[in-house]
Every structure is written in C-alpha cells, then in structure tokens.
C-alpha cells in the first residue's frame, strides 16, 4: 500500500504539467497542499485559468493556487508557451458557468515558503518546470530546508544531449534547468533531498499512438477523456524531438504513485550556471552533491498504470 504523501506542486502550465495535475488528483494517497504556476513554458493567465478549471472539474477548488512572479533568464519559445491558451479553451473545462476561485495573493515563491513554514511535517515538492520559486524561498529562509521531505524535479540531462537549441549555447542543457540556470545552481547549495528525472529516462517514454488509442477506448471516464484531448494536442508538434512528445512531467509525477516501477542511482551532480553550457547538469565527483537520479522505468507497466489511473471516476467534493 502506498504511503500518504503531503505535496506541493510547482508546474509551468504545459500540456504534460496539466496532465500531471490530473494524475495527482486521481491519486488517493496524495494530499495536495497547494499549487504554484511558474510563467516558464506557458503564458501565466491561461495556465492559471486552466489549473483552476481542472480543480473545479475534479471538485477540488479548495486547493490554493499561486502565480509565479519570477522571470527566468532564458525564455521558452513562444510557440510552446501558447499551448496554455488551447488547454484553457478545452470543452471539458468550459461546460459550466460555476465561478472559479481567485489565485491566492502571495507570489509563488512566498506561497511555497508559507506552506513549508506552516507544515506540521515535512512536505514533498513536485516540480515540473524550473526551480526558481523553491530556490528563492530557500535563499530567503534557509531553515525551511528542514521542512522539505523530498524534491522530485523533471530536469537535467546527463548522458544524453540536452533539448535546448539556442544562440550561444552548446545544446547540453535541458529546458527546465536552462530557463533559470542560476536558480538551479543555487538550489544545489541547499541541504535538501533531490530526485531528478532527466532526459536520460524521459527520452524512453514517448506519447505514442498505440498508447493514445488505448486511452481513447476509456473515454467514458472523464479523466481519460481529458488526458487524451490534452495529449492529442502534442502529436507531431516538436521538430527537434523527431516530432515526438515525451512523458517528461507525467513520468516524474507517476513516480509518486508507482515508485516500484523505477530504478534510481545516487551520484554527485553539479549544475553549470553560465554560458555556453548554462543549465547543464553533470556528474562531478569534485564539485557535485549527492543526488538521486531516476534511471529506468518498466515501460509497459507504466503505460498500464496510467491507463488504470485515468480510468477512475471523478470524486467531486
């Protein structure tokens, strides 16, 4: 039986971020204390709106949502960020006139700090975008590290190429790290447990048509229908990934529900903060700090886990 998890979720509004939110809401052992939306791989207004609409759909409007105000050094391509508008307009999220709650007034880095400070026990933090908010919170109050149970981050690339193609960059970085490489470098200086899900593992988990066909056969379940609509938006959209969309964030999120499907290793790692390798994550015995890294996942079983997870009825409160 999976142990209860008290969780904070920091995402940046992409397709797989919002599917990750659906996954969390379907996990009965996850107690979601709050959500931060980082304006990285999204435009903030529609990404926040889509987040609130998913919470409304699932009867969880009680979960507070905060908006990020920190700006990264390297902006995601606008072509990617626009997906938040499409997600916010999906029919399943707009078939009611029930009002949406407003985001909380605190910016996301202060919101995370408040939640950690107020927690009776340490919290797990799931980050599927950049780490700027958490880093800012810990830089301001280093003792909050004692309130962090673990940080799961979709970020990095170790033994594979990065996915950044940008001027004056060598292509070694993954985008969530590259958006704010200074913040990532600083996070490594804090005494918190880190579990990374780098491109090394996510590159093996594509959103392929056979999986989407299986998901489509479960459309009678609202979560499966919405997840299928979201993933359908990704087919054939990313030229520099051979037009494949990978389960970057959803794989990371899935660890919370099916850790037995993964293998991990612990290595001394380091983040390069400056060009031409800004955001590169490397294994470095000299400079590195111990970091847990996801290595493999049992792929057929993971796809089956997702299908079962989305084949649940929404339990509205």
Joined together, the tokens standing for residue 184 give: 């990532």
237 — pLDDT class (breaks 50, 70, 90): confident
The closest of 152, 150, 148, 128 to 294, measured between CA atoms, is 152
240 — pLDDT class (breaks 50, 70, 90): low
Distance CA 137, CA 71 (A): 15
- Treating both helix axes as pointing N-terminal to C-terminal, what angle do 209-216 and 222-232 enclose, rounded to 10 degrees? 150
The H or E element containing residue 44 is helix 44-57
Backbone angles phi, psi at 289, to 5 degrees: -115, 150
Q: For 168-182, write each residue's pLDDT tens digit.
A: 999 999 999 999 999
The closest of 9, 257, 6 to 128, measured between CA atoms, is 9
Do 47 and 84 touch, CB atoms closer than 8 A? yes
Q: If you ran DSSP here, which 8-state letter would residue 3 be given?
A: P
Burial annotation 66-89 (CB, 10 A radius, 16+ → b, else e): bbbbbebbbebeeebbebbeebbe
Share of the chain above pLDDT 70, in %: 97
Q: For 289-298, write each residue's pLDDT tens digit.
A: 999 999 999 9
The reply to whether the predicted model has a pTM over 0.85 is yes
Mean pLDDT score, 182-207: 97
Distance CA 205, CA 42 (A): 22
DSSP string, 117-138: HH-SS-EEEEESS-SHHHHHHH
242 — pLDDT class (breaks 50, 70, 90): low
The pLDDT of residue 313 is 79
Is the per-residue pLDDT at 159 higher than 50?
A: yes
Q: Cα 157–37–140 angle (5° rounding)?
A: 80
The pLDDT of residue 236 is 77
Is the per-residue pLDDT at 70 higher than 90?
A: yes
Q: Report the C-alpha dihedral over residues 5, 7, 10, 14, rounded to 10 degrees.
A: 50
The pLDDT of residue 317 is 45
Please give the residue that has the higher pLDDT: either 215 or 244: 215
- Treating both helix axes as pointing N-terminal to C-terminal, what angle do 44-57 and 15-26 enclose, rounded to 10 degrees? 20
The H or E element containing residue 37 is strand 30-37
Q: For 129-145, write each residue's pLDDT tens digit.
A: 999 999 999 999 999 99
Q: In what order do the strands lie in the sheet with 148-153?
A: 65-67, 30-37, 5-11, 123-127, 148-153, 194-196, 289-297, 262-271, 281-283
Q: For 26-35, write each residue's pLDDT tens digit.
A: 999 999 999 9
Look at residue 310 and give its three-state secondary structure: helix
Look at residue 58 and give its three-state secondary structure: coil
Is the per-residue pLDDT at 239 higher than 70?
A: no
Mean pLDDT score, 248-260: 98
Joined together, the tokens standing for residue 314 give: 């929404």
The pLDDT of residue 235 is 87
Is the per-residue pLDDT at 7 higher than 80?
A: yes
Which residue carries 């980050």 as its tokens?
127
């Amino acid at each position: 039986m999976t142990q209860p998890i008290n969780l904070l979720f920091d995402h940046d509004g992409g397709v797989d971020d919002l599917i990750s939110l659906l996954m969390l809401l379907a996990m009965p052992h996850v107690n979601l204390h709050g959500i931060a939306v980082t304006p990285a791989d999204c435009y903030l207004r529609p990404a926040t709106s889509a987040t609130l609409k998913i919470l409304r759909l699932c009867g969880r409007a009680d979960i507070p949502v905060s908006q990020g105000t920190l700006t990264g050094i390297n902006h995601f391509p606008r072509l990617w960020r626009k997906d938040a508008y499409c997600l916010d307009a999906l029919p399943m999220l707009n078939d009611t006139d029930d009002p949406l709650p407003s985001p909380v007034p605190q910016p996301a880095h202060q919101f995370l700090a408040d939640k950690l400070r107020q927690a009776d026990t340490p919290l797990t933090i799931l980050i599927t975008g950049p780490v700027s908010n958490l880093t800012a919170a810990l830089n301001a109050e280093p003792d909050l590290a004692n309130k962090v149970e673990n940080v799961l981050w979709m970020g990095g690339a170790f033994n594979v190429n990065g996915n950044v193609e940008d001027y004056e960059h060598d292509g070694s970085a993954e985008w969530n790290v590259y958006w704010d490489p200074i913040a990532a470098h600083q996070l490594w200086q804090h005494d918190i447990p880190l579990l990374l899900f780098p491109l090394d593992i996510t590159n093996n988990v594509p959103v392929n048509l056979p999986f989407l066909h299986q998901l489509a056969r479960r459309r009678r379940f609202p979560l499966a229908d919405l997840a299928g609509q979201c993933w359908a938006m990704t087919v054939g959209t990313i030229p520099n990934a051979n037009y494949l969309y990978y389960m970057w964030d959803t794989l990371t999120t899935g660890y919370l529900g099916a850790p037995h499907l993964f293998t991990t290793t612990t290595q001394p790692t380091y983040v390069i903060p400056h060009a031409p390798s800004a955001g590169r994550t490397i294994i470095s015995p000299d400079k590195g700090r111990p970091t847990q890294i996801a290595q493999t996942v049992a792929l057929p079983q993971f796809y089956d886990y997702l299908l079962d997870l989305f084949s649940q009825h929404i339990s509205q409160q």
